[in-house]
Amino acid sequence: MTTAVILLANGFETIEALTPADVLRRCGVNVVLLGVGGKSRKSAQGIEIQTDCEIENWQGEADLVVLPGGMAPGASALAKDEATKALVQKTLDAGGRVGAICAAPACVLAPMGVLDGRKATCYPGMESRFSPATNYIAEPVVEDGPVITSQGPATSLAFAVKLAERLAGAEKAKTVAKGMLAPSLL
């Protein structure tokens, strides 16, 4: 079964984490919520989530790693976490994908060099953290090879549908999007 892991550190943006979880599960993808810094994590909006496992204890393989944003301190915490960086790199090295939204492309992927030579987007204004080797595109969702980036909370559903399209196939993602009254996203 295809597996997506969504990394949650305290301060994550609720909609940017749970929308991909919802859409991917509707598409039949195994979604694992991994806690960074503890098993119970609290979103920037004060919603507490019990994750499935702490990142340090997870032994599985991921086809996709999803990095939600949230600057205070969600994406910053992900950027400082060595297990997060190792999982992103391991997944990409194994031919998997990474999805990052809002602050996460600039805070996590850019410093790792993952965006070098690629097109990417992020929360407007944070592109100043991209290296000159990254081609910033001011679009809601940008895909370049195995990397899918998105701008922020309002683009979460489009981001989630793009992730689902890549993991579950275009037809399944389209069916799910239509059932959610969002067919224009495909």
Q: How far is 111 from 79, CA to CA, in rounded Å?
A: 8
Listed by start position, the domains of the chain span 3-185
- Cα 3 off chain centre by: 13
* 102 in catalytic set: yes
3-state secondary structure 156-177: HHHHHHHHHHHHHCHHHHHHHH
**Contacts (Cβ under 8 Å, ≥6 apart) of 148:** 97, 98, 99, 100, 141, 142, 159, 162, 163, 166
What pTM does this model have? Answer: 0.97
Between 4 and 185, residue with greater pLDDT:
4
The answer to whether the bond into 73 is cis (omega within 30° of 0) is: yes
Over residues 114-147, the pLDDT tens digits come to: 999 999 999 999 999 999 999 999 999 999 999 9
Which element (helix H / strand E) includes 49? strand 48-50
Q: Who's near 10: CB < 8 A, 6+ residues apart? A: 37, 38, 41, 42, 73, 74, 77
Q: What's the pLDDT tens digit per position in 3-43?
A: 999 999 999 999 999 999 999 999 999 999 999 999 999 99
pLDDT score at 26:
98
Nearest to 12 by CA among 100, 137, 96: 100
Gap between the Cα atoms of 71 and 103, Å rounded: 6
Selected catalytic residue, list 27, 102, 107, 122: 102
Q: What H or E segment, with its residue span, contains residue 31?
A: strand 30-36
CATH number corresponding to 3-185 = 3.40.50.880
